[in-house]
Amino acid sequence: MKISNGVKLLIIANWKCNPITLQKAKRLFNSIKKGIKNLRNSEVVICPPFVYLPYLLKPKPYTLNPKFGAQDCFWGKKGAFTGEISPWMLKELGCQYVILGHSERRQYFNEPDEMINKKIKATLKAGLTPILCVGDKSREAKEDIKELDGQLEKDLKGLKKSSLSKLIVTYEPIWAIGTGNPCGSEEAKLAGQFIKKHFSEKIPILYGGSVDSQNAEDYIKKAGFQGLLIGNASLNPKEFIKIIKTINKD
Ligand code: PGA
């Protein structure tokens, strides 16, 4: 299933803080790589924990499917910032994407929108594509919209039109992430359309939150998203490949 303008669907695998060993990470990666070998209509981006990136990115070239992303990054280039990973380092490694503003970072690490804004700018400057996550805490439609609006306004502050056109935005209702309680496709569609209005350029808008092989197709076909951000199900190669095949059938 190709989206209307022939652009490929984007499938982001967010492994979060998993798996616990490099051996398991390599095994998971190899199974996914094998399963998506002849994929033409989708681009798959694997976002493992930082420490596994150099091992999985070998051997070069890394332009083939799957591509790689990080789950977060620092807003500066280098310096005395203990524990941070700069987007320039990720670029040098061969990464092409960075997830920013994920609700787990906002919630457990108190990341404010102002910080996410700085990270987006640095990521773009380093030549990587930010995958900005925004989401609402409740199911109440009116509140959702207000919350998304506030996040987008602050996260995108000061970005020029040329920068905005390079972004990917993911709608991730917080109550649907890792809960097995996905957002209905109609509800998700409204949020997706709302996000789209913030951009004059056509950018990919994705959905994330309890995606599985049963509901994946609806987010693309019925709700009109250009891809998916997948957490839990991306740790299960069989299920992850099933999701990709479901949305790739013509
Ligand atoms: P989930 O996570 O697929 O486990 O709900 C989605 C996410 O990382 O946002």
User: How far, in Å, CA of 173 to CA of 32, rounded?
Assistant: 26
- Which residue's CA is the nearest one to ligand 1's atom 7? 231
- Which residue's CA is the nearest one to ligand 1's atom 3? 231
pLDDT tens sequence across 139-169: 666 666 778 889 999 999 999 999 999 999 9
Element (H, E) at 46: strand 42-47
On whether the pTM is more than 0.75, the answer is yes
pLDDT tens sequence across 166-196: 999 999 998 888 888 888 999 899 999 999 9
CB 46 within 8 A of CB 67: yes
Active-site positions read 102, 172
CB 102 within 8 A of CB 132: no
pLDDT tens sequence across 191-228: 999 999 988 889 999 999 999 999 999 999 999 999 99
Nearest atom in ligand 1 to 209's CA: 5
User: Average pLDDT of the chain?
Assistant: 91
C-alpha 39 – ligand 1 centre gap (Å): 23
C-alpha 14 – ligand 1 centre gap (Å): 7
Nearest atom in ligand 1 to 16's CA: 8
Q: Which residues line ligand 1 (CB under 6 A)?
A: 14, 172, 177-178, 208-211, 229-233
In this predicted structure, what is the pLDDT of residue 64? Answer: 66
User: How far, in Å, CA of 108 to CA of 36, rounded?
Assistant: 33
Which tokens belong to 85? 């990973």
Q: Residue holding tokens 């005395």?
A: 80
In this predicted structure, what is the pLDDT of residue 3? Answer: 46
Smallest CA-to-CA distance from 207 within 178, 227, 187, 182 is with: 227
Nearest atom in ligand 1 to 234's CA: 3
